[in-house]
Amino acid sequence: MEIEMRSRRAFLWTAVMGAAAASVSCSWIKKKQGAKISLLYFKGLAEGQRIRANLPAFTATTGIEVVQDELPYDEIRARQMKSFRAATAEYDVIFVDDIWMYEYARKRYVRDLSDLVERDKFDFDDMIPKVAQAEGVLDGKTWLIPQRADVQVLFFNKAIFESPEVREAYKQRTNVELAIPETWQEYATIARGLSGLQFSGEPITGCAETLKRPHFAFEFFATRYWSMTDRDFLDSQNKPIFQEGPGVAALEYLASLRDVWAKGSLNAGHDETVNNFANGHVAMMPQWFAFYAVLKKPSGGLGDRLGVSLMPGVRSDNGSIRRAPSIGGGSLGISANSANVESAWQFIKFMTSRKIMAEAALDGEIITRKSAYENPEVLKRNPASQIYRQSLDISKFRPRSIAYAAIESAIGEGVSRALAGEASATQALADAARTVQELNANPQ
């Protein structure tokens, strides 16, 4: 009787929500009554809350119970490693940052999903191409299903840039009109030109940066490095080249802005930088688009004062601008030692379905399906989604290596040393390059 009642509830829910959300047959549902899987997700993300909100519907449709655990970003990887080493996975489904995909696939920490994608004709082709490449596919195989896609953009305070008093004071100081920066040189000029000018009775701060060592320092050095050097951190033989002249110049540029950073930028993570910017007296902030929804709120954010533009870059001789924001985000994968592969796969299909992602896009979440952005209402509700999509199309991948986590840490530590004045840019990057060379020679 209980199974019959559950089947009826599942049928009613499917009739209301649509067949697209329920991708399994009734006979399969009956077989899975009492099944249970576990999920480990990144704490604090809107996309994770979207999953949690849809768990009752998933269970009603499939009979599969889901236990969702969430951890802060810097605790996820260690817990995943523990799960990977267990005979049976502690977590069946895991959130995988795009920077871990290469390692997890190469070491077979996650299950190759290619056979399941093919068997069920999963519409992977609907994933944004750049996102699919960064977060799901390696060596022609599908290892993960992209669920959220982040990218760096430039946030700015429109109220500051549009203030007649600020504009006049800026022009008197610089002899040029105030405008949103297109290049890194303009970014520096504008940050300096605005710093100290009065706005609403308080001095303006030129920019807020996210430079806590080593992870964040690497993230926001990388966008400058790529656009200023037009090269990757490693060459085709996987040898470091970031320590050469162009890389040193990019780091010296970033260090030259110390006097116009918001207070605490050198030790700031995402939250600290966003809070600095949200106080209303910081002019600009390079940051991940994921924070758009928070900053767009009238309470605790900037509301209609929030502006979003492409990350600055370097102007070429032909007038074009080479921009290089970093792509980020994460996917859902199945632990290779999971004993619940079919249930885990049904969960991933459900939570990355067109229907779920279409709803998420309307709410401003950073999702991965092209079809979701074809709805005109998405752009109407969230005009900045156009900047977001353009940024994804021009984004860059961080170094792909089994030793990525250690490589990023080594480069980020070098960047941090130079920014803190502990070493010259030349020395700091040379030391980092030696460490990276050793890591690549002896990957763990």
Q: What is the pLDDT of residues 383-424, one digit of tens each?
A: 899 999 999 999 999 988 888 889 999 999 999 999 999 999
Domain at 2-143+328-393, CATH class: alpha beta
Chain centre to alpha carbon of residue 390: 15
How far is 158 from 103, CA to CA, in rounded Å?
41
pLDDT at position 45: 87
CATH of 151-326+398-441, one of 3.40.190.10, 3.40.50.150, 3.40.50.300, 3.40.50.10860: 3.40.190.10
Domain ranges of the chain: 2-143+328-393, 151-326+398-441
Residue 22: band (very low, low, confident or very high) from pLDDT cuts 50, 70, 90: very low
How far is 122 from 145, CA to CA, in rounded Å?
10
pLDDT at position 20: 40
Residue 13: band (very low, low, confident or very high) from pLDDT cuts 50, 70, 90: very low
Report whether 38 contacts 92 (CB < 8 A).
yes
Q: Which residues of 186-201 are buried (b: 16+ CB within 10 A; e: fewer)?
A: bbbebbbbbbebebee
> What is the enclosing helix (H) or strand (E) of 138?
strand 137-138
- How crowded is residue 181: how many other Cβ atoms within 10 Å of its Cβ? 22
Contacts of 353 (CB under 8 A, 6+ apart): 20, 21, 23
Same fold, 2-143+328-393 and 151-326+398-441: yes
Contacts of 226 (CB under 8 A, 6+ apart): 232, 324, 326, 396
Contacts of 105 (CB under 8 A, 6+ apart): 112, 138, 139, 141, 143
Residue 46: band (very low, low, confident or very high) from pLDDT cuts 50, 70, 90: confident
What digits encode the pLDDT tens for the residues 106-156? 999 999 999 999 999 999 999 999 999 999 999 999 999 999 999 999 999
Contacts of 13 (CB under 8 A, 6+ apart): 22, 57, 60, 61
How far is 322 from 311, CA to CA, in rounded Å?
10
